[in-house]
Structure 1
Amino acid sequence: MNDWQELAAVCRTCNCSVQYAEPLRNHTTFRIGGACGAFVNINTEETLRRILGLCRDRNYPYLVLGNGSNILAADSGYAGVILHLGKDFSRIQQDGDTLYCEAGATLGRISRYALEQSLTGMECLAGIPGTVGGALYMNAGAYGGEMADIVVSARCMSPDGMITEVPKAEMELGYRKSVFRQDGRIILGVTLRLQKGSYGEIKAEMDSLLGKRRAKQPLELPSAGSTFQRPVGNYASFLIDQCGLKGASVGDAQVSKKHAGFVVNTGKATCHDVLELCDYVKQTVLEKTGYQLELEPVVIGDPGKPAEQPGS
Structure 2
Amino acid sequence: MAVTLTNIFPSYDIKANVPLANYTNTRVGGPADWIFWPKSLAELKAVVAYAHQIDLPVLVLGNASNLIITDDGYRGLVIFLTQLTRITVSEHAVTALAGAALIDVTTKAAEYGLTGLEWAAGIPGSVGGAVYMNAGAYGGQVDAYLESADVLTATGELKTYQNAELAFGYRHSKVQDTGEVIVAATFHLEPGNATQIWSTMEEFNTRRAQKQPLEYPSCGSVFKRPAGHFAGKLIMDAGLQGFTVGGAQVSRKHAGFIVNLGSATSADYVAVIAHVQETVAKQFAVQLEPEVRILGH
Moved more, 46-55 or 241-250: 46-55
Match of 2:292 in 1: 297
Match of 2:78 in 1: 82
Match of 2:236 in 1: 241
Distance in 2, Cα, partners of 1:56 & 1:119: 40
2:61 matches 1:72: no
Q: How far 1:266 moved relative to its partner?
A: 0.5
2:3 matches 1:8: no
Which residue, 31, 35, 45 being the options, matches 2:41? Answer: 45
Q: How far 1:72 moved relative to its partner?
A: 0.1
Match of 2:172 in 1: 177
Q: Which amino acid aligns with 2:20?
A: L
Distance in 2, Cα, partners of 1:194 & 1:4: 45
Q: Which amino acid aligns with 2:147?
A: V
Match of 1:305 in 2: none
Percent identity between matched residues is 38
Distance in 2, Cα, partners of 1:30 & 1:217: 15
Q: Which amino acid aligns with 2:73?
A: G
SS in 2 for 1:9: helix
Q: How far 1:185 moved relative to its partner?
A: 0.9
Match of 1:308 in 2: none
Distance in 2, Cα, partners of 1:155 & 1:9: 30
Distance in 2, Cα, partners of 1:137 & 1:268: 29
SS in 1 for 2:229: coil
2:143 matches 1:148: yes
1:82-116 superposed Cα distances (whole Å, 9 cap, x missing partner) = 11111x21101111110110000001111111111
Residues 122-271 of structure 1 mapped to structure 2, 5 A cutoff: 122-271=117-266
Q: How far 1:16 moved relative to its partner?
A: 2.8
Q: Which amino acid aligns with 1:64?
A: V
Moved more, 49-58 or 132-141: 49-58
Gaps of 5+ in 1: 303-312
Distance in 1, Cα, partners of 2:225 & 2:9: 41
Distance in 1, Cα, partners of 2:170 & 2:261: 29
1:28-75 superposed Cα distances (whole Å, 9 cap, x missing partner) = 100010110111001222211111121112111110010000110010
Distance in 2, Cα, partners of 1:10 & 1:158: 21
SS in 2 for 1:291: coil
Q: Which amino acid aligns with 1:279?
A: A
Contact 1:39/1:83 (<8 A) preserved: yes
- Report the number of matched residues: 297
Residues 49-60 of structure 1 mapped to structure 2, 5 A cutoff: 49-60=45-56
Contact 1:10/1:50 (<8 A) preserved: no
Residues 18-33 of structure 1 mapped to structure 2, 5 A cutoff: 18-33=14-29
After superposing on structure 2, the runs of 4+ consecutive aligned residues of structure 1 that deviate more than 2 Å are: 9-12
TM-score under structure 1 length normalisation: 0.93
Distance in 2, Cα, partners of 1:82 & 1:10: 17
Q: Which amino acid aligns with 1:251?
A: G
Q: How far 1:22 moved relative to its partner?
A: 1.1
1:177-199 superposed Cα distances (whole Å, 9 cap, x missing partner) = 00010001110100111111111
Q: Which amino acid aligns with 1:37?
A: D
Match of 1:307 in 2: none
Distance in 2, Cα, partners of 1:99 & 1:274: 36
Gaps of 5+ in 2: none
Q: How far 1:10 moved relative to its partner?
A: 3.5
Q: How far 1:267 moved relative to its partner?
A: 1.0
